[in-house]
Amino acid sequence: MKISHYISIDLGATSGRTMLATFDGQQITLTELTRFANPMIPLGGHLFWDLPSLYNEVLRGLQKAAASGINPVSIGIDTWGCDVAYFGHDGQLLGLPYCYRDSHTDGATERFFEKMPAKEVYEKTGIQFMNFNTLFQLDTLHSNCCSALDAADKILFIPDALSYMLTGRAVTEYTVASTSQILNAVEREFDPALLDAIGIPRERFGEMVQPGTVIGTLTEQVQQATGLGAVKVVAVAGHDTASAVAAVPAENERFAYLSSGTWSLMGIETKESIINDDSFRHNFTNEGGIDGTTRFLKNICGMWILEQCRREWEREGKCYSYPEIVEMANSAEPFVSFINPDDASFANPQSMLKAIEAFCIRTGQPAPQNDTQIIRTIFESLALRYREVLEILESMAPFAIDVLHIIGGGSKNQLLNQFTANAIGKRVVAGPSEATAIGNLMMQAIGAGEMSTLAEARTIIRASIETETFLPQQREAWEAAYARFVELK
């Protein structure tokens, strides 16, 4: 039996990990090699990512693989979208990449719409408007005469930047580029009019490549630093959500997905983009998927709110484990207060706990009185927001939605999964929790010829993982809660 090894590097907006993926032709197994934090760096009044540190963590993961005697077929990197790094003509990194949560893009959408109307931008790109989209970041930095941008020979999205640092070849992977709001949804290439509007020529970006493309091999320096040989680096679905959605263990097209992590991303998989007045009005996005698919979805503020609360509690000496958090939520009185997770006040407040209290008071609700009630408020509010977005999604979907697949780290939260089933009134299937790493592996295996299609890959995934099903309960109580939730302003 042939055994193939692949290295999946998955970097999220709060943490990253290196995963060893093993494929025996029938099943996939995953082993975690390294895990590390990815904190935002406050510096000079802005927020940045420490890309050299992330690169060093990538090398550490590769070193660990080499030390264990693994000879991987290839390496693939996925990360969050929108943010970019700048490199000079000599290949050197020009400063730290800005973090999408930095406040320098506050008001950036309105400023850009003075150059080009919002409707025209949406008709070209099909991308939801968020002030941190690459289009608005680059427009802001160009207007501010950013020294790194001005000197840049190459502008690369984060997965492409790391692949460039490993191989010396600069490319732009399609799925992560599709998050930028610069890509034309029909042409699947950067839109000339949008590039002109931000004053950046196309040649400063890498060649556009599709998932499964071999970028190159590890440079001699990286080989010496890690102990690996001339291993191939493959452009997987570089946007982490694209990799995660590829790993949904669906049996047919009649499903919606919820990629649950720091962000919750809810959507469907379609053959064509959905760009019309309704999708524009509801601010839905059309991002690139694999195998020619489009991910029609909406971003929802997910576990970010809870993660920020946990940081505040830890500073107070209260270090709750995740099982403790779930038990606390389960023991709390239900339906006391709700928040809108996507309210602007929760984007990056100085204190998330105070932001929750202020929202409840502003909307005429009781403020949570303790940590337990705060957690319950977050979980219930997320479930109700999922229903709100799903109903809008169903009104535009070209097919009926029978089931919601929850993937990613949040799929392990059984209480929130049950709340979600209760709120939406549909069957929920949870898993895989390691969807991003699995989707990353899939594209490497497809690039190596070990899998051929998305359908075949999903058949293998279903044989490799266990899922858990949740059916709706307490429908009357959740209907009443939803009626209250949608009245929040």
| pLDDT tens figures, 169-189 | 999 999 999 999 999 999 999
pLDDT confidence of residue 6: 98
Domain count within the chain: 2
Q: Identify the pLDDT of residue 328.
A: 98
Asked whether residue 308 falls in the same domain as residue 179, the answer is: no
Closest CA to 20 of 228, 220, 218: 228
Q: Indicate if 228 and 291 belong to the same structural domain.
A: no
> What is the percent of the chain with per-residue pLDDT over 70, rounded to a whole number?
100
232 and 195 in one domain? yes
In a domain, 452, yes or no: no
CATH number, domain with residue 339? 3.30.420.40
How does 36-45 read in b/e, with b if 16+ C-beta sit within 10 Å?
bebebeeeee
Domain that holds residue 86: 4-238
Answer whether residue 291 is part of any domain. yes
Assess whether 221 and 349 both reside in one domain.
no
**Is 141 part of a structural domain of the chain?**
yes
Catalytic residue of the set 139, 240, 277, 278: 240
Average pLDDT over residues 21-39: 95
Q: Are residues 138 and 202 in the same domain?
A: yes
| Separation CA 274–CA 350 (nearest Å) | 37
Tell me: do 394 and 412 sit in the same domain.
yes
- Both 225 and 263 in a single domain? no
Q: Across-strand partners of 405?
A: 257, 429
- pLDDT higher than threshold 70 for residue 373: yes
| pLDDT average, residue stretch 435-441 | 95
pLDDT at 2 (0 to 100): 87
Last residue of a domain, one of 176, 208, 238: 238
Report pLDDT digits (tens) over 352-371: 999 999 999 999 999 999 99
20 with 100, same domain: the answer is yes
* End position of a domain, from candidates 208, 238, 268: 238
The verdict on residue 458 lying in a domain is no
Task: State the DSSP code for 238.
Answer: -
Q: Are residues 345 and 365 in the same domain?
A: yes
Query: With 0-12 CB in 10 A as exposed, 13-18 as middle and 19+ as buried, what is 21?
Result: buried
φ/ψ (deg, to 5) at 12: -105, 180
Residue 1, pLDDT above cutoff 70: no
Task: Tell me the DSSP string of 172-203.
Answer: EEHHHHTTSS-EETTTTEE-HHHHHHHT--GG
Query: Are 294 and 207 within one domain?
Result: no
Choose among 290, 293, 270, 157: nearest CA to 212.
290
- According to the model, what pLDDT value does residue 246 have? 94
Could you tell me if residue 444 is inside a domain? Answer: no
pLDDT, tens digit, for every residue of 306-361? 999 999 999 999 999 999 999 999 999 999 999 999 999 999 899 999 999 999 99
Paired strand residues for 11: 16
The distance of Cα 70 from the centroid of its chain, to the nearest Å, equals 29
Residue 218 lies in a domain: yes
Question: CA separation (Å) from 274 to 283, 287, 315?
Answer: 11, 10, 45
**91 has pLDDT over 80:** yes
Q: What is the pTM of this model?
A: 0.92
Give the contacts of 216 (CB within 8 A, at least 6 positions apart): 167, 168, 169, 232, 233
| pLDDT tens-place string over residues 379-422 | 999 999 999 999 999 999 999 999 999 999 999 999 999 999 99
Please check whether residue 282 lies inside any domain of the structure.
yes
The verdict on residue 451 lying in a domain is no
- Give the pLDDT confidence score for residue 56 in this predicted structure: 98
Q: How high is the pLDDT of residue 325?
A: 97
- Does 489 have pLDDT greater than 80? no
For this structure, is 402 an active site residue? no
Answer with the one of 238, 253, 277 that is the final residue of a domain.
Answer: 238
The per-residue pLDDT for range 247-266, each reduced to its tens digit, is 999 989 999 999 998 889 99
| 62 and 152 assigned to the same domain | yes
Question: Which of 263, 257, 262 has the alpha carbon at shortest distance from 295?
Answer: 257
For residues 176 and 251, membership in a common domain is answered with no
Burial bucket for residue 284 (CB in 10 Å: 0-12, 13-18, 19+):
buried
pLDDT in tens, 237-248: 999 999 999 999
Token duo for residue 352? 């998330």
